[in-house]
Structure 1
Amino acid sequence: MNPTVDEVGLRPALVIFDCDGVLVDSEPISLACLTAGLNRIGVDIDVETVRARFAGTAMPSIMQHVARDYGIAAPEGFVEAVKAETLRAFDAELRAMAGASEAIAALDLPRCVASSSDPVRLGHSLGLTGLLPLFEGRVFSSVEVARGKPFPDLFLHAAARMGFAPESCLVVEDSVPGVTAARAAGMRVVGFTGGGHWGHDPLGADLTAAGAERVVCDYPALVRIIAGAQAP
């Protein structure tokens, strides 16, 4: 059994936040846009299946899975169209996760973002919700590494760029691929189920099964976990 944050009792040197579903409540919006796009090109899939299979996964990997499992190759311009539709939906609906801004601003630890989203979407999401100043210059995208989540490359890249050893990092993640990637990187992980896409399972059993040491559903609980991990 993996040790919990409290059992380890070590102050993390760096907190790495996923973006979608952790900092911003974007997953219900983006998953709905992706589902609608896949349906348009003949992929018979519903939003819950898209959530279970693709949440936290970069678009290139998603399209590889669709081609392999459904036998449908996306037409030219499909990914770009879905991304544009998603950004338009963000403009109308996207919100920061409740309590995120205040909690992160008060966090007395180095922090960064490591996300499967591309840099344009990351900048758009964090800028739109007012969170970008909290992470300026410390936002890392899966396009910067050879392999996205569930491989450890992105988290290792973020830690290296920030100048910290993997074992000293604490990751906050909302998806199974993200938790898997963090554990493969040798990092501790707290699962987060405060996003709208987690209404089916606020306890996050699949995040625990993937290796999350604790699962929390809001920022006050997350702050308590990190504060406990800060104890000398």
Structure 2
Amino acid sequence: MKVLRIVAEGLTTSFRYPHFMQGVQPSYPMPPPATIYGHICSALGEWADPAGLQFGYCFTHQNLQPLRDKEHTIVLSPATGKLPGTQIPKVLEGNVNPFERELLFFPRLTLYINRPEWLSAFRSPRYAVILGRSQDLFAYVDVRVVELAEADHAYFEHTLLPYRMALQVMRGVTLLMPRFLDYERRRTPQFSRYVALTERVRLPNEQGFQFADAPAPRFWVDPTTPDDHGAQRGLAFLNFDGEGDE
């Protein structure tokens, strides 16, 4: 299976929980699928058809715990009266709302996409390379096509797994994350559950659950990654329609 592998690095990033508006904006430990979709479209310079598009990734950062920075937003509202010393009516007034944002430092993303034909687009991206906020600039340090191999054993680490793998890995944290933003319906978000895995887990896992009549699992692995007792980095591919992930 040939895939496009992109390695991107940056100084800071933050993936805001969508239901926090004021006071504090905590960060997801890794990018939601909706963020990955926007990142792909930015490199292509156009909206990509999400049908059949699959991705997997490994994401790391260097701080043990998210650090907080002070930021502020200005909330605008209709104004009354005139500008001082003039007869010009006021249009808007603004209130400054300070808050704390969690930041992840020195992030590194290794992204795998089942579109090897997009190699030239990622080697010459249409728009500035960012991940998360518009000020979180990234740089592509390696873009190439790699051929994945099938294996009986694999390790998974620093990645986002479909929720259906929760009983297999018996590790990680379950998160409800935005899977896709429907721009034809005023950016209506669609959510799915995932397992965020920040430690290394080998599969098959002796502590995990496996049904007796289920076939032995097979995994896609990147053969260029380090070997760990006969296993290499496994990839769990996700999609943007959520089919099969839950």
TM-score, length-normalised on structure 2? 0.25
Q: 1 or 2, which has the higher strand percentage? A: 2
Bigger radius of gyration: 2
Q: 1 or 2, which has the higher helix percentage? A: 1
